[in-house]
Amino acid sequence: MNFHTRKWVKPEDLNPNGTLFGGSLLRWIDEEAAIYAISQLDNQRVVTKFMSEINFVSSARQGDIIELGITATHFGRTSITLRAEVRNKITRTSILTIEKMVFVNLDETGEPAPHGRTQIRYADELFEAHRRDSDKASVGSAETFRRRSEERIEDAAH
Ligand SMILES: CC(C)(COP(=O)(O)OP(=O)(O)OC[C@H]1O[C@@H](n2cnc3c(N)ncnc32)[C@H](O)[C@@H]1OP(=O)(O)O)[C@@H](O)C(=O)NCCC(=O)NCCS
């Protein structure tokens, strides 16, 4: 599991007990998981469908630095299942675990759509895929430019 995002627990994140408010933590982890699902499925239109039990294992306090970890545990047809963990960055003490978070891949009409993914893609692979797509797009636009130039020359000749 990769712990990409770090958060610094500040006064506005605390509950009346003086420890990290569960709602703040859930907002952070839902966003982290959504970004992970978007990256893996290469689609901005994903929604949280299901979350299993949330285990608030231990408290975080003001000033603590915590880190959020997500990994994919299952690729379905239209869904992706993730596992989440939050821990103290220094002590590695576990703060929260969620065994199962299901995100669904949607099409333009908001209906579940097959995503075609079967395994985790890592940052290098995602970057390579993006680079290949950009290269294809620029070859495509060079081809369009060449065609349009030829059309303009033909227009001028008539
Ligand atoms: C997401 C939504 C479009 C899915 O609709 P649906 O009718 O449940 O769709 P389906 O039955 O085709 O299921 C879609 C996928 O979700 C999975 N799924 C559905 N219910 C599930 C549940 N309770 N637990 C786990 N997975 C579930 C299905 O197995 C399927 O995955 P697969 O294709 O990989 O097998 C709809 O439920 C919805 O709009 N929910 C609200 C989402 C939302 O607003 N989230 C909060 C803000 S992001």
CATH number of 2-117: 3.10.129.10
The finding on whether 41 has its CB within 6 A of some atom of ligand 1 is no
Q: Among 104, 111, 115, name the best residue to mutate to test ligand 1's pocket (greatest count of ligand atoms within 8 A of Cβ).
A: 104
Token digits for 14? 């605390």
Count CA within 13 A, CB hemisphere, residue 62: 9
pLDDT (0 to 100) of residue 148: 62
User: What region does 4 belong to: left with phi over 0, alpha with psi -120 to 50, or beta?
Assistant: alpha
**Domain chopping of the chain, boundaries:** 2-117, 122-158
- For 90-139, the pLDDT digits (tens) are 999 999 999 999 999 999 999 999 999 999 988 788 888 878 888 887 77
pLDDT of 147 > 50? The answer is: yes
Per-residue pLDDT, 152: 53
Q: Which of 21-35, 45-59, 116-130, 139-153 has the lowest mean pLDDT?
A: 139-153
pTM value? Answer: 0.85
Greater pLDDT, 143 or 101:
101
Closest C-alpha residue for ligand 1 atom 28: 79
Tell me which H or E stretch contains 37. Answer: helix 22-41
Q: Residue 154: helix, strand or coil by DSSP?
A: helix
Res. 157: pLDDT tops 60: no
